[in-house]
Structure 1
Amino acid sequence: MNTQILPAQPIHAGQVLKAELAARNLTQADLAEIIQRPAKTINQIITGKLGITPDTAMQLSQALGISAETWLNLQSRFQLSMLEADKYQDIPLRAALYQNYPVKEMVRRGWITAGKTFEELESAVKNFFNLETINQTPQFQFCAKQNVAAYQQTISTTNLAWLFKVRQLAAEQLTTGKFSNAAVKKAIDELSGLLRSAEEVRHVPKILSACGVRLIFVESLPNSKLDAACFWLDNQKPVIGMTLRYDRIDNFWFTLRHELEHILNGDGKNQAVIDEDIGIQIDGLPESEHLANKAAADFCVPAAKLDSYIVRVGAYIFSERKIIAFAGVNEIHPGLVVGQLHNRTGKYQQLRKHLVPVRNFILNGSTYDGWGFANRSNDE
Structure 2
Amino acid sequence: MSGNELMEKPDWVSPPGHTMISLLEQNELTVEDFAERIGRTKGVTQKLLDGKHAIDVQLARQLTDVFGASESFWMAREHDYRASMELPEKVSVTSFEDLISILPLADMKKFGWIENARSRGDKIAQSMEFFGVSTIAQWQGRYENAFRGAAYRRATAYASCEIATTAWLRQGEIETQADEVAKWSPEQLRRELDAFRRLTWYKSPSLFLPKLKEGLARAGVKFAIVRAPKGCSASGAIRILADDTPHIQLSFRYLSDDQFWFSLFHEMGHLLLHFDKMPILENTDLEEEECESEANEFASQVIVPMVYQEELLDLLASKPKIIEFAKKVGVSPGLIVGQLQHAGIIRYNQMQHLKRRYRWVD
Quickly name the TM-score band, shorter chain normalised: 0.5 to 0.7
The sequence identity of aligned pairs, in percent, is 25
Give the 3 Å change call, closer, same or farther, for CA 270–338 of structure 1 in structure 2: closer
Q: Over the residues paired in the alignment, what is the CA RMSD in angstroms?
A: 3.3
Give the match's secondary structure for 2:236: strand
Of 273, 290, 302, the residue aligned with 1:287 is 290
**Structure 1 residue 296 corresponds to structure 2 residue 314:** no
What is the alpha-carbon distance in structure 2 between the residues aligned to residue 150 and residue 339 of structure 1?
Answer: 28
Of 260, 265, 274, the residue aligned with 1:252 is 260
Contact between 1:208 and 1:215, CA under 8 Å: does it hold in 2? yes
Task: Measure how far apart 1:273 and its partner are.
Answer: 6.4
Map of 1:133-152 to 2, 5 A cutoff? 133-134=135-136, 138-140=140-142, 151=148
Of 212, 228, 232, the residue aligned with 2:240 is 232
Q: Cα deviation per residue 1:48-107 (whole Å; 9 max; x = unaligned)? A: xxxxxxxxxxxxxxxxxxxxxxxxxxxxxxxxxxxxxxxxxxxxx997444322222223
Give the match's secondary structure for 1:332: coil
Give the match's secondary structure for 1:337: helix
**Structure 1 residue 159 corresponds to structure 2 residue 165:** yes
Task: Measure how far apart 1:110 and its partner are.
Answer: 3.0
What is the alpha-carbon distance in structure 1 between the residues aligned to residue 224 and residue 213 of structure 2?
Answer: 9
Give the match's secondary structure for 2:187: helix
What is the alpha-carbon distance in structure 2 between the residues aligned to residue 150 and residue 319 of structure 1?
Answer: 41
**Structure 1 residue 243 corresponds to structure 2 residue 251:** yes
Amino acid at match of 1:158: A
What is the alpha-carbon distance in structure 2 between the residues aligned to residue 98 and residue 234 of structure 1?
Answer: 25
Q: Cα deviation per residue 1:18-74 (whole Å; 9 max; x = unaligned)? A: xxxxxxxxxxxxxxxxxxxxxxxxxxxxxxxxxxxxxxxxxxxxxxxxxxxxxxxxx
Task: Measure how far apart 1:194 and its partner are.
Answer: 3.0
Amino acid at match of 1:185: R
**Structure 1 residue 207 corresponds to structure 2 residue 215:** yes
**Structure 1 residue 264 corresponds to structure 2 residue 272:** yes
What is the alpha-carbon distance in structure 2 between the residues aligned to residue 238 and residue 231 of structure 1?
Answer: 6
Of 173, 180, 184, the residue aligned with 2:179 is 173
Q: Cα deviation per residue 1:325-378 (whole Å; 9 max; x = unaligned)? A: 22222232111111101111171110101111367xxxxxxxxxx742xxxxxx
Task: Measure how far apart 1:258 and its partner are.
Answer: 0.9
What is the alpha-carbon distance in structure 2 between the residues aligned to residue 137 and residue 234 of structure 1?
Answer: 15
Contact between 2:96 and 2:136, CA under 8 Å: does it hold in 1? no
Which residue pairs with 2:343 in the alignment?
344
Which residue pairs with 1:16 in the alignment?
none
What is the alpha-carbon distance in structure 1 between the residues aligned to residue 317 and residue 99 of structure 2?
Answer: 51
Give the 3 Å change call, closer, same or farther, for CA 195–178 of structure 1 in structure 2: same
Q: Cα deviation per residue 1:228-273 (whole Å; 9 max; x = unaligned)? A: 1111224641111111112212112111111111222354875476
Q: Cα deviation per residue 1:108-152 (whole Å; 9 max; x = unaligned)? A: 3332334453222212212323444347653447xxxxx967948
Q: TM-score, normalised by structure 2?
A: 0.60
Q: Cα deviation per residue 1:131-185 (whole Å; 9 max; x = unaligned)? A: 44347653447xxxxx967948x9611111000110112222222x332111111
What is the alpha-carbon distance in structure 2 between the residues aligned to residue 268 and residue 111 of structure 1?
Answer: 32
Which residue pairs with 1:183 in the alignment?
188
Amino acid at match of 1:105: D
Q: TM-score, normalised by structure 1?
A: 0.58
Which residue pairs with 1:354 in the alignment?
354
Give the match's secondary structure for 2:292: helix
Which residue pairs with 1:104 in the alignment?
106
Contact between 1:267 and 1:273, CA under 8 Å: does it hold in 2? no
Q: Which has the higher helix share?
A: 2
Which residue pairs with 1:129 in the alignment?
131
What is the alpha-carbon distance in structure 1 between the residues aligned to residue 312 and residue 287 of structure 2?
Answer: 30
Give the match's secondary structure for 1:138: helix
Contact between 1:230 and 1:259, CA under 8 Å: does it hold in 2? yes
Contact between 1:158 and 1:221, CA under 8 Å: does it hold in 2? yes
Give the 3 Å change call, closer, same or farther, for CA 319–358 of structure 1 in structure 2: same
Give the match's secondary structure for 1:286: helix
Aligned residues: 252
Q: Cα deviation per residue 1:188-207 (whole Å; 9 max; x = unaligned)? A: 23223334443563421111
Give the 3 Å change call, closer, same or farther, for CA 161–138 of structure 1 in structure 2: farther
Task: Measure how far apart 1:283 and its partner are.
Answer: 8.9
Give the 3 Å change call, closer, same or farther, for CA 180–239 of structure 1 in structure 2: same
Which residue pairs with 1:45 in the alignment?
none
**Structure 1 residue 318 corresponds to structure 2 residue 317:** yes
Amino acid at match of 1:302: P
What is the alpha-carbon distance in structure 2 between the residues aligned to residue 357 and residue 268 of structure 1?
Answer: 35
Map of 1:31-110 to 2, 5 A cutoff? 96-110=98-112
What is the alpha-carbon distance in structure 2 between the residues aligned to residue 259 and residue 270 of structure 1?
Answer: 12
What is the alpha-carbon distance in structure 2 between the residues aligned to residue 198 and residue 332 of structure 1?
Answer: 12
Where in structure 2 are there 5+ consecutive unaligned residues?
A: 1-94, 150-159
